[in-house]
Amino acid sequence: MDAYSNMEDPLTRCGLVFAGANNRLDPDRENPPKDYGDGIFTASDALSLDLRGTDLLVLSACQTGLGEVMTGDGVRGLRRAFELAGVNSLLCTLWSVDDVSSAILMERFYTNLLVGGMDKLSALTAAKNSVRNISKAEALKYYRENGFGHIFEQIEAECNAPIEAILEETPFKHPYYWAGYVLQGSTT
């Protein structure tokens, strides 16, 4: 039976897509490589893992913290599946997050956690505050040094102005850029 045939179950409707998924989803492909798997990891797959002792799992892709409310069963989705598999803490997102501010937030979160010696919640809070308060000059530098320059070119073309004139003094101050990250479970 096809693992994805029960689309009524929210645990098969949410997941992560990896390399090889196009092989599984391409109806014209007769013999996809078997050694790569199907490239789709569902919440149902997560339930089959033994993740006891895993201190922190980070899912920084879009909407990884969402699920579906099931009467009598709470919210079912990736977040709940990893919790049931034994993860102590999970950092995930509640909406479609911005690529650049997310990259900065994750970099600063891990620096705070691993180098700064902060607990998980403090590391996340400090990273959010850092992103929220990042200056235009810091943002421009990050964009240019990390391969996001093409985004500037698109914005400049659409607005018919240089990016320095368009970008606000604190470009990531709006909660959209940092507030979508939530920590579940143990915060220490």
Place of tokens 């006891």: 52
Evaluate whether 128 touches 105 at the Cβ level (below 8 Å).
yes
pLDDT of 76 reads: 65
Place of tokens 């990250």: 181
Please give, one letter per residue, the 3-state secondary structure of 131-174. Answer: HHCCCHHHHHHHHHHCCCHHHHHHHHHHHCCCHHHHCCCCCCCC
Tens digits of pLDDT across the chain (188 residues)? 445 555 567 777 777 777 777 766 666 666 655 665 677 888 888 889 999 999 999 988 887 877 665 554 545 678 888 888 999 999 999 899 988 899 999 999 999 999 999 999 999 999 999 999 999 888 888 888 888 777 778 888 888 888 888 878 899 999 999 999 999 888 88
pLDDT of 74 reads: 47
What are φ and ψ of residue 76, in 5° steps? -110, 130
Strand 56-58 with 89-93, pairing: parallel
pLDDT of 147 reads: 80
pLDDT of 6 reads: 55
pLDDT of 44 reads: 85
pLDDT of 1 reads: 40
pLDDT of 56 reads: 95
Place of tokens 């040094």: 145
Q: What is the pTM of this model?
A: 0.79
